[in-house]
Amino acid sequence: MADTATKTEEAHSDHHDDHHHDQSFWSKYVFSTDHKVIGMQYMLTGVAMALIGGFMSYVFRMQLAFPDESVPFFGRVSSLEYNALVTNHGTIMIFWVAMPILIAAFGNFLIPLMCGCDDMVFPRINRLSYQVFLLSAVVLVISFFVPGGGFGGAWTAYPPLSANAEYSLTPMGSTLWILAVALEFVAFLMGGINFITTAMNARAKGMRMFDIPLVVWMIVIASILFMISVGPLIAGAIMLLLDQLVGTAFFNPFRGGDPILWQHLFWFFGHPEVYVVLLPALGIVGEIIPTFARKKFFGYKLALYTVFATGILSFVVWAHHQFIAGVDPRMVHLFTVTTLLISIPIAELCFLYIATLYGGSISFKTPMLWALAFVVEFLIGGVTGIHLGASGADIYMHDTYFVVAHFHYTFFPIAIIGFYAGITFWFPKWTGCMLNEFWGKVHFWLTIIPFNCIFIPLFILGMGGQHRRIYNHQHFSELATPEYQNLRIFATVSLIVMLLAQVIFFVNIILSLRKGKKAGKNPWKANTLEWTTESPPGHGNFKELPEVYRGPYEYSVPGRKEDYWPQDQKE
């Protein structure tokens, strides 16, 4: 291990020296190869896309609550526009918010710092990865404004609808959409190479495999899952692009193709993708809970094994999205079994997080509130997945709002709660300033309470038979009742409250940057290596590359005066 660390040091020495002179704004913030700056670029782009995606949800929720009335700041919503809004809301939130923030931003920022090295192994590939990602985001945003409007065939883009402009009525929108998605995959493939290589080869001297902090493991495993699963979908995306542009018929049943083929390619990627974004969020929470409970992580190795098991199982559950899509009914049994089995490792992980709290000394700082909210809310998303994975019940529940509520109870904790947990926890390290606790807590409660108020009504609506992607439920006699309409209005009002509450967060950030308390090296008294260097870390991260003597969660070790024991302290 010592060898590897030295080699990395040598490999980086060129790159290191280049940057000691004064840099212009452009080379420092725009074309930087520094992992912290690239992480920040991913973070800011992701947050900007989240604002767009959030605005979209406001527009279509207004249409559902007050059908066919003009929506403030948007206007009247046509059915085509409604479809484009829900489609791009889903696409943006998964590919341009959850992925860049959880994997790319935190991965870039944390992996070199937590592994104790000065940068990613391939800094220039890292920069290219962000540039391709930015291009993909620009292509997606352009697709809203082309003639015909943005793509509206749902984020799953099932052909023949997505393959033929004659059916979708968005000739340019659908092509740009699939192009943007493909570019985004290219960006994350390059990012993934870096995350895996850096964590495997460039760790500090003395850091063994089981001394790696959970969040680093999780991002590495997520990158592996992504890289294995994305291949089939890239092939599918090329076929879809050819069907759209050249008139091939890969997915056209009248000319020898098969639309179901796309569904298999899409979900072979699409299901592991859920775990690709889940794992980094679980990792972030796994760093925060031990720190604020002052406890060693309960069953660190067991947690890793369950994550491996989840990762492997996640490759053989994909057809549970297609139970009623016309696949062989006998095949469904296989996927019911694998889908329900995946509840075992996920439940165990949740138990490990809860068990970590046992016997702790828990302080409820803002990052801890977010981390605990993750566990509380994710449990709801997890248990309602069983209703959908059980084939018999899915016959009714499929494509209802029950599904919508279920996956928002998984994705909201992952993408939004995970983001806030991470950003409130590492903000002092990233910027050198503490966030204001009071306003952090106000923001927390004003996000969590409305979040539940949005999605609990949707469970009820889904059980009542309200199906997805309908721009106006008044056309259906069984769904047009005033009781149901009140639930829709309640959800929409809750959404608006939640969106407005996000202003508090941004104001808190700006004020804390200007007037916030200085953080110092280690404000939370945490153990991992990023807390042993300056806040914010300078170029090259560490004055002297650290050496590691123990695992990351040695809190409250008996016989020690301090209740924490940083990884790089010999005694």
Partner 1 sequence: MIESLIESGSSYSGDIDFLFTLITVIVGIWFIISEVVLFYFLFRYRKRDGVKAEYLSGEKKSHKKWISIPHWLIIACDIVLIVGAVQVWHHIKQKMPPAEETIRIIAQQWAWTFVHPGKDGLLDTDDDITIVDELHLKENTTYHYELSSRDVLHCFSIPIFRLKQDTIPGRKISGWFRPTTTGVHDVQCAEMCGAGHGLMPAILTIHTEEEYAEWLENQTPNLDPDPLKNEQFRGKEIGELAAD
Residues 381-410 that bind partner 1 (CB under 8 A): 383-384, 386-387, 389-393, 395-400
- For the bound state, the minimum distance from the C-beta of residue 156 to partner 1, rounded and expressed in Å, comes to 8
Residue from 11, 154, 186, 228 binding partner 1 (CB under 8 A): 154
Residue closer to partner 1, measured from CB, 154 or 228 = 154
User: Which positions from 180 through 239 interact with partner 1, judged by CB under 8 A?
Assistant: none
| Residue located via tokens 């072979």 | 268
Cβ atoms of residues 443 and 501 within 8 Å: yes
User: Which positions from 69 through 128 interact with partner 1, judged by CB under 8 A?
Assistant: 76, 78-83
Interface with partner 1, residue 358, by CB under 8 A: yes
| Residue located via tokens 């923001």 | 443
Q: Which amino acid is at 256?
A: G
- For the bound state, the minimum distance from the C-beta of residue 530 to partner 1, rounded and expressed in Å, comes to 22
User: Which positions from 292 through 321 interact with partner 1, judged by CB under 8 A?
Assistant: 293-302
d(CA 229, CA 258): 21
Supply 369's token pair.
């509130």
Q: How many residues bind partner 1 (CB under 8 A)?
A: 102
User: Which positions from 18 through 47 interact with partner 1, judged by CB under 8 A?
Assistant: none
List phi, psi (to 5°) of 467.
-100, 170
Neighbours of 25 (CB within 10 A): 7
d(CA 495, CA 249): 42
User: Which positions from 239 through 278 interact with partner 1, judged by CB under 8 A?
Assistant: 253-254, 259-260
- For the bound state, the minimum distance from the C-beta of residue 204 to partner 1, rounded and expressed in Å, comes to 22
Rg (CA), the chain: 24
Judged by CB under 8 A, which stretch of 2-10, 98-106, 153-161, 233-241 contacts partner 1? 153-161
Environment class of residue 208 by beta-carbon count within 10 Å: exposed (0-12), middle (13-18) or buried (19+)? Answer: exposed
- For the bound state, the minimum distance from the C-beta of residue 528 to partner 1, rounded and expressed in Å, comes to 17
User: Which positions from 316 through 345 interact with partner 1, judged by CB under 8 A?
Assistant: 323-326, 329-330, 332-333, 336-337, 340-341, 343-344
Three-point CA angle 422, 458, 103, nearest 5°? 25
Residue closer to partner 1, measured from CB, 329 or 538 = 329
Residue closer to partner 1, measured from CB, 131 or 569 = 569
Residue from 74, 315, 351, 549 binding partner 1 (CB under 8 A): 351
- For the bound state, the minimum distance from the C-beta of residue 535 to partner 1, rounded and expressed in Å, comes to 24
Residue closer to partner 1, measured from CB, 242 or 470 = 470
Environment class of residue 562 by beta-carbon count within 10 Å: exposed (0-12), middle (13-18) or buried (19+)? Answer: exposed
- For the bound state, the minimum distance from the C-beta of residue 28 to partner 1, rounded and expressed in Å, comes to 41
Closest Cα partner for 158 from 325, 401, 388?
325
d(CA 288, CA 116): 19
